[in-house]
Every structure is written in structure tokens, then in C-alpha cells.
Structure 1
Amino acid sequence: MKEIKFVEDNRGDWYADLPDYPGPKADCEMVFGADSMLLMLAEGKDNVTLAISDIEDEIPNAVELKLLREGGSEGGGYYYFAEGEIEIWLCDVTKFVMGYIPSIIYFTVINETN
């Protein structure tokens, strides 16, 4: 299980806060539905921390992101977030975090602060 904090900047763009990520901050921007999911999960706050795993039993009462298809030339993968009834795209930074593109990502909100 990993914990990842997501932060909304003053323009309303969401980013994964990954200090050890070797690439540019722009790679960590949450787009194509992932930003909408975070907005929903943050419930009006400008950040939200998620516990994430590819192992169901690591996170009790987890919500699932189910892989619909890998991203092809753009990388990453397209996932379905059933709770929000939206399709999201997670870029190849997912490989940095998870080590690969999992068929299911389990997560739960563990911290909401302003």
C-alpha cells in the first residue's frame, strides 16, 4: 500500500505530489477524468490523500478503478471509476508509483485537509 497526496493549484489543476518522481511536475498533472474524480473525493478541499494498492486485502472497504484498456501510444491506462460513473486516464506515472499498469487499483481516502 502507498499513500499519495493530490493537490489542487490556484488554477484548479490537480497534481500528484511525488517528490521522488524524476520527471517534470507536468507529468504528474491529473487530467482526462482523473481531475474530476479528485475534485469529487476532495469534497471542496484543495488536497486529498489516498491509500492505493493493487492488492484488495490491503485496503478495507476500498473503491476500485478497473482497467478498461491500456493507453497505447499515449501510455498509461484508461480506468473506470464506478462510484463516480466516469472513465479516467492515468498516465505512465502510474508505472512509477505502482511498478506497472494494474488491472485494478484499490483506493480509499485517508486524509482530507485544507
Structure 2
Amino acid sequence: MKQLFRFYKTPEDKWYIDLPEWTGPISALEMVEGADDMLDKASNNTNECFLELSDTDFEGADSIQLIENLRDSIGGGYYYMETYKGETINHRMWLCEVTEFVFGGLPETIYISYR
């Protein structure tokens, strides 16, 4: 699965994924605990960015690795991003249960490219 996703930042400085097929509360779509910081970087500190995400490797993609699976407790998991566009960043982020919705589970590795 490889898909392009839109992320947007509200006037209150909160990041969300634009996921029209989501039927749960919008609050679950908020990007927090490191994911928001990564989106600031990916958006070049603007209020919108597009990320191509996949659970299989593709040319030009960075990757994030699952380091702590929290599916059975709070949902989602902690991921680690070693590099961003070839630059070492060593960044930890939590991706919520929406990740499970998008991928049908928590991938060990998620591949990302920036548009």
C-alpha cells in the first residue's frame, strides 16, 4: 500500500491528518508526541504538507521503525526516525491507532516521501 496523505495545521498550531474515510472523533486524527514536530519539519514550518506513506520500501523514501508496540494498551506505537532527507535527526514519535486504521495494523517499518 502506497498512498499520498494530506496533513494540515490549525490556527491553534495542532496538526491533523486529512482522512475523510475516518468515522471516529476528529481528536483521534491529531498528530502529537513528536509526530507534530516531524510535520513542522516536513512542511518547512508552514501549515500543510503531503506525505507519501507505504509499508513497503520505494525509491527516495525515508523510513521510521516501530520501537514500541502499544496496540494492546493505548493503541498505536512509538516509532523512530533516524534520518530525514539524508540528514541524521534521531527523532522519536508516537503514531496513534489511526496508523492501524490506515495500514491494517502497525507496520514494523513505514516508508515516507515528502511532496
Counterpart check, 1:30 vs 2:35: no
Of stretches 21-30 and 68-77 in structure 1, the one that deviates more from structure 2 is 68-77
Amino acid at match of 1:75: G
Q: How far 1:82 moved relative to its partner? A: 1.1
User: How does the TM-score come out when normalised to structure 1?
Assistant: 0.91
Question: How many equivalent residue pairs?
Answer: 108
Identity of aligned residues (%): 36
Give 2:96's aligned residue: 91
Compute the TM-score of the two structures, normalised by the length of structure 2: 0.90
Summarize deviations over 1:39-65 as a string: whole Å, max 9, x none: 011002110000000010xx3110101
Show the 5 A alignment for 1:14-93.
Answer: 14-56=15-57, 59-71=58-70, 72-83=72-83, 84-93=89-98
- For residues 95-110 of structure 1, the aligned pairs below 5 Å read 95-110=100-115
Superposition misfits of 4+ residues, deviation over 6 angstroms: none
More strand by proportion, 1 or 2?
Answer: 2
Question: Greater helix percent: which structure?
Answer: 1
SS at match of 1:43: coil
Could you say what the CA RMSD is over the residues aligned between the two structures, in angstroms? Answer: 0.9
